[in-house]
Amino acid sequence: MNVHPLVRSADIGDAMSIQSLYRQLVDDEKVNVSEQQLQEIGDDSRAQLFVCEVDDTVCGTVLVSLCLDVMYGQQPFAVVENFVVDTACRGRGIGRTLFREAENFCRTRNASKIMLLSSISRESAHRFFEGVGFRTDFKRGFVKYRSQFD
């Protein structure tokens, strides 16, 4: 029995677990995690989809994408997306463990910064992000969804 969080790269066998976590993040039955998309992300050297397991059960996930940039030579920046820990597993260090791995991934690829967006109503998530070092006093995020630019 593994009671310590284990972070690893997601694989195609994690599709349903990740989909279930995403549906906790957004209440949308259209959320669909496909094995093909997991494979494509796994094959992309500029992206990493991590999952965190406890007792052989996936209980958290985070996607990190590196974006090419010209501002600092060949130094990319990173975007974190779809960070979620199962509601039944929160408060056990899983989120911090996931973010440590995300930061390690970014560090080894010399990313200049890590950015993320969080829904305005997720105040406990905001406190968590601030607790792992994210700041809100430097920049302001903006979002325009696909339906708004068709």
The CATH homologous superfamily for domain 6-135 is Gcn5-related N-acetyltransferase (GNAT) (3.40.630.30)
pTM value is 0.93
d(CA 22, CA 32): 9
Residue partners of 23: CB distance under 8 A and separation at least 6: 29, 31
User: How many whole angstroms from its chain centre is CA 46?
Assistant: 14
Domain ranges of the chain: 6-135
DSSP state at residue 91: T
β 47-54/57-67 pair status: antiparallel
Per-residue pLDDT of the chain (150 residues; tens, 9 = 90+): 456 899 999 999 999 999 999 999 999 999 999 999 999 999 999 999 999 999 999 999 999 999 999 998 889 999 999 999 999 999 999 999 999 999 999 999 999 999 999 999 999 999 999 999 999 999 999 999 999 998
Maximum CA pair distance of the chain?
Answer: 50
Beta bridge partners of 57: 54
